[in-house]
Amino acid sequence: MGITVLILKFYPVYQPGIVFGFRWAMRIRNKLIVLVCIIVSWFATCDLPTQPGPMPKKIIDTKFEPGLNVFGVLRADDIPGSSFIHVEKAVTTEEMYEGVDIFITDAWIQLTDSLTGFESVFISSPDTTEEGYYFNNGFNPQPGHHYLLEILSGDFPALRGETTIPVKPALVPQSLSATDKTVQFELQLTSDTYQYNIYLFFDEYYLEKQISNESEGVRCIRFDFSNGTEQPTGLRIIGYDRNLAVYLNSSPSFIPQTFHEIVNTVENGYGCFGSLAVTEIPL
What are the pLDDT digits (tens) for 130-147?
999 999 999 999 999 999
CATH number, domain containing residue 209: 2.60.40
79, 87, 176 from 281: Cα distances, Å: 16, 33, 10
Nearest to 161 by CA among 88, 39, 243, 257: 243
Task: Tell me the torsion sign for CA atoms 102, 103, 107, 109.
Answer: positive
The separation between CA 115 and the C-alpha centre of its own chain, rounded to angstroms, equals 29
Give 85-102 pLDDT, tens digit per residue. 999 998 877 777 777 788
DSSP symbols for 118-170: -EEEEEE---GGGTTEEE-TT----TT-EEEEEEE-TTSPPEEEEEEPPPPPE
CA angle 230, 195, 57 (to 5 degrees): 130
Backbone φ and ψ of 128, nearest 5°: -65, -20
- Does residue 145 lie in a domain region? yes
- 149 plus 255 within the same structural domain: yes
Look at residue 24 and tell me whether its pLDDT is greater than 70.
no
Q: Please tell me the least confidently modeled range out of 13-27, 64-78, 86-100, 245-259.
A: 13-27
- Does residue 57 lie in a domain region? no
203 secondary structure, DSSP code: S
Give 211-231 pLDDT, tens digit per residue. 999 889 999 999 998 776 788
- Does residue 61 lie in a domain region? no
Q: How many whole angstroms separate alpha carbon 51 and alpha carbon 47?
A: 6
- 160 plus 266 within the same structural domain: yes
Pick from 240, 255, 270: which residue ends a domain?
240
Nearest to 75 by CA among 84, 87, 85, 83: 83
Query: Which residue range forms the structural domain that includes residue 9?
Result: 1-46
- Does residue 62 lie in a domain region? no
> How confident is residue 53, by pLDDT bands cut at 50, 70 and 90?
low
Please tell me the pTM assigned to this model. Answer: 0.75
- 263 plus 153 within the same structural domain: yes
- 132 plus 249 within the same structural domain: yes
What is the rounded average pLDDT of the residues 194-213? 94
Contact 148, 112 (CB under 8 A): yes
Amino acid letter, residue 88? E
Nearest to 40 by CA among 74, 6, 85, 12: 6
- 28 plus 158 within the same structural domain: no
- 114 plus 3 within the same structural domain: no
- 192 plus 219 within the same structural domain: yes
